[in-house]
Amino acid sequence: MISDAVKIAIDGLIKPFEGYARRLPDGSCNAYPDPGTGGDPWTIGYGSTGAWIGPDTVWTREQAESALADHVAYFVSGVLRLSPVLATAADRRVAALISFCYNCGLGNYRISTLKKRVDAEDWDGAATEIVKWNKAAGRVLPGLTRRRQAEAAFLV
């Protein structure tokens, strides 16, 4: 059931890896620069980005939770549209791909070998492909490596 996959994605992958970064004493949060570039795209809450987010952006916890829910809904819809086979896949597999797309984007997923493996229901091959997406600005980031390994474990 897709709602179970969403809960697994949010609680098991997205929140732990995105974190609620730059928490302020009152519980709100402020934006921080992308770890790969040191600047754009500025990020806030649970990994939200956009042209309207900059170094002075501050959100309440409620704004961060609302943005997370909206973004996850967008990525659920997109990943199911791009890979209809996921409509009947195990919740953990759908969760892994929601998390991946939340982090890397639907455009990257659409053109990836990962998508080809998913569409063929080659879950071992998908797990092998997903761990390759551990770089930002050409540099391997330990946090991305851990996230991709966790997503890969959900795929097999």
pTM of the model: 0.92
Fold for domain 2-18+61-155? Lysozyme (1.10.530)
State the pLDDT at residue 90: 97
Q: Which residue positions in the chain have pLDDT lower than 50?
A: none
Whole-number Å distance between alpha carbons of 110 and 128 = 17
Residue 75: what pLDDT?
97
18, 62, 65, 129: the catalytic one is: 18
Q: Angle at Cα 119 formed by Cα 113 and Cα 120, nearest 5°?
A: 90
Structure tokens at 31: 């934006």
Confidence (pLDDT) at 117? 98
Q: What local confidence, expressed as pLDDT, does residue 10 receive?
A: 96
Token readout for 146 is: 């851990």
List all residues 6 or more positions away from 6 whose beta carbon is below 8 Å from its beta carbon: 72, 76, 95, 98
What pLDDT does 94 receive? 98
Per the rule left: phi > 0, alpha: psi between -120 and 50, beta: everything else, 47 is left
- Which of 18, 44, 16, 20 has its CA nearest to residue 30? 44
Distance CA 70, CA 56 (A): 22
pLDDT at 144: 95
Q: Give residue 27's pLDDT.
A: 95
- Residue 1: per-residue pLDDT: 66
CA within 13 Å, CB half, 24: 15
Both structure tokens of 20: 């609620």
Tokens of 49: 């980005």
- The confidence score (pLDDT) of residue 137 equals 81
Bridge-based pairing state of the strands 29-30 and 43-44: unpaired
Catalytic site includes residue 129 = no
> Which of the 8 DSSP states describes residue 77?
H
Query: Can you give the pLDDT at residue 2?
Result: 79
**DSSP assigned state of 22:** S
pLDDT of residue 11: 95
Task: Give residue limits of the domains in the chain.
Answer: 2-18+61-155
